[in-house]
Amino acid sequence: MTEHPNSMGSWLKTGVIALATSLTMNAASAAEGDIIHDGEYNFLRAQHGEKWDAQDVEIGDALAAIRDANGGKPPNILYVLIDDVSFGQMGSRKMNYVTGFETPNINQLADESLSLMRMYTEPSCTPTRTAMLTGRHPVRAGVEEVKVALVGEGLSAEEVTIAEILKEVGYNTSHVGKWHQGDIEQAYPHNQGFDWAAFPLHQQVQLSLMTREAMVANNMLGFHASGQSGDFAIDQRFKPYGLVTGVEAEAGGLAREVDMAPGEEWTQAKYEDMNQRYQDQAIEQLQKLAAQDEPFFLQYWPLYPLNFAYSDQARSRNGGFMADKMEVLDDWVGELMTALEETGKADNTLVILMADNGLMYHYEGTSGLNQLIYRGGKTQHLEGGVRTDAFVRWPAAIEAGSAAGDIIHVSDLFTTFARIAGATDHIPRDRVIDGVDQTALFLMGEGNSRRDYVYIYEGPVLRSIVKQEFKMHMPAPGQPGAAAPVFNVLRDPREQHAQVGYSLWSGASFQDMLKRHQKTIAKYPHLPLGKDAPYGGIENLRPESELARQVFDSWQ
C-alpha cells in the first residue's frame, strides 16, 4: 500500500501562524497572472503549496529534458473518449470474465499505462466533454445537457478550449467523432480550436435510436411515422425531424453534411457507416498529423456503435446488443494503437483513453451491459454515473503498468495537457478553472494528485460532494447538513448504506466545502451558454433541415 501523508497532521504541525502566512501568500499569488481556481483547491494549496511548488520545479526540469530529447517539441496528445461505459467494463481481464465480453486491446493499453483508478467525469456526455474542453465545470459555461432535437444552443465562443490553447504553442489539432457541444455555428469544433473536424451535429440517441429499426426492435416505440396511427395527432412537429447528421469542416470554414441526400431516411446502416468512417478518419488523421513536424493533438471520440436490434450472430459470450459492441470498440482501439506505433511517434505521444460517463442502464438485462461494481449510470451523480476506467500511456514519461488511487476529475486534463504542452500561460485568467494541474500525478505517480474532492452536478444542480473516501448526497432543500446521507465509497461502493455517524461528524466539513465552492461562484458568476440560430454555417443544408430550422425559429 502506498503511504498517504496525513494531510491533517501536516496541517496541524504547520501551526496557526504558518497557516496564516500560507493563506496570505495564496491570496497574494491569486493576483493577476495566476489561474483562478475553485475555493476548495485554494484551501488545499494553502496546506500543500510549498511542497507543490518544489515538485513543480522538478517537473519543469523533467518536461524540459523530455522536450530536449524530442527535438525541442512537447509530446503529441491522442485523447480517446468512449461513450457510456461503466467502471470495470474495459481494461481488466478479470472483469472481462464477469461481463462475458473481451477487451484485449484496451487491457493491453492498461498494462502499458498509468491506470487512474478514481477518475471522475460529469454524469453525461455533453457536460463531460465541456469539462475536458474548457477545464471548467460545465455549469460555469452555462452548459447543462444538450438535448436530442434542435436547441439553438451550444458551447459559447467565449469559452477557451484546450484545442485553442494548444494551437497557441504550435500544435496541429483534429477532432473526429462525437462532439455534442450544440447545434450553433460557434460551438462547432472547427470554430473551437480544431484545424479539421468530422463530427455528427447531434448524438447517438438521435443517430441510433431514432430509426425505424430501433422501433421494430422494441426500443424506441412509436418514434417512426410508420409505427404511429396518427389518430388525434394535431401537432405534426412533435418529434424531431430533418435533423442534420454528420458534417466535416476545416477551421473557420463552412461545414458540409456528408451522410444524407435530400429526402433520405436515416437508418441503422447509415449509423454503422458513420461509425466506421470515424474510425477510418481517426487513423487517417493520426497518420497525417504524425507526418508533420509540429506536435499534434488528436481527439477521437467514437460514438458507441449501437445497434438496438438484437444480433442473430453473437460475437461475445455475453452476446447482448450493447455488450458485443464493446468488442467492436476494442478492435478499433487496437487498430488505432497499431497505427500509432507505425508512425514511430508512440514514445512521445501521450495517449489517454477513458469513457465519458457510466452506462445507459435503461436497457440493463437485455443490452448485456450492467452496472457492475458501482450503482447508477449515465445522467446520475452516483458513482456508477461518474466513475470510469481511464488509462494514460506515455512511454517516455509514465511508468507502464502503474496505477493510482488518487481522485482526478476530467476537467484536470485541460490543465494538465496545457502544462505538458508548455501552454499554461495561455489558460485564461478571467474565469474559474476547475481543472487542477495533475502533471505530478502523471509523472510521479500515485499519491501526487492535487485534489481529494469533486463536486458532482446533474445539469445545473449540485447533487453530491466527494471528499476522500466520503461522499455526501446533498440533503433535500431545507434539510440540515446532518440529515444528508454520507457514504464511504470504499466500504459501500453502491452508496446504499448511509451511516448516520458520518453525517454527524462530516456534516460541518461538507458544509464548509459547499461554502468555499459557492463563494467562488459568487465572485465569478457563471457565464452564459452560447445561443444562436441552429444549423448556421452548413453549406449544404437539406430542405428538410432548413424547414426544421424555420419551424424552430417560428416559436422562439
| Chain residues that interact with a copy of itself, rule: CB under 8 A | 1, 4, 88, 92-95, 97-100, 102, 115, 117-118, 316-318, 320, 323, 327, 364-373, 403, 405, 469, 488, 490-494, 496-497, 499
Nearer to a copy of itself, 343 or 366 (CB): 366
- The span from the CA of 133 to the CA of 127, in Å, is 10
Closest by alpha carbon to 84, among 360, 408, 450, 486?
Answer: 360
408, 118 contact by CB (below 8 A): yes
Alpha helices in 294-437 (DSSP H): 323-343, 383-386, 412-421
Compute CA 535 distance to the chain's CA centroid, rounded to the nearest angstrom: 24
Nearer to a copy of itself, 194 or 502 (CB): 502
- The span from the CA of 510 to the CA of 386, in Å, is 19
Detail the DSSP E strand segments found in 35-184: 76-82, 114-116, 119-120, 153-154, 172-177
* Residue 91: CB minimum distance to a copy of itself, A: 8
Nearer to a copy of itself, 99 or 173 (CB): 99
Nearer to a copy of itself, 119 or 474 (CB): 119
357, 122 contact by CB (below 8 A): yes
The H-or-E segment that residue 198 falls in is: strand 196-200
Nearer to a copy of itself, 116 or 244 (CB): 116
* Residue 113: CB minimum distance to a copy of itself, A: 13
Nearer to a copy of itself, 101 or 179 (CB): 101
Measured distance between the N- and C-terminal CA atoms of the chain, rounded to whole angstroms: 58
* Residue 498: CB minimum distance to a copy of itself, A: 8
CB burial of residue 551 (10 Å; 0-12, 13-18, 19+)? middle
* Residue 221: CB minimum distance to a copy of itself, A: 17
* Residue 97: CB minimum distance to a copy of itself, A: 4
- The span from the CA of 438 to the CA of 418, in Å, is 11
What is the phi/psi pair of residue 136, to 5°?
-130, 145
Nearer to a copy of itself, 110 or 529 (CB): 110
Q: What's the Rg (C-alpha) of the chain?
A: 23
* Residue 334: CB minimum distance to a copy of itself, A: 13
- The span from the CA of 467 to the CA of 288, in Å, is 43
* Residue 310: CB minimum distance to a copy of itself, A: 10
* Residue 131: CB minimum distance to a copy of itself, A: 23
Nearer to a copy of itself, 92 or 173 (CB): 92
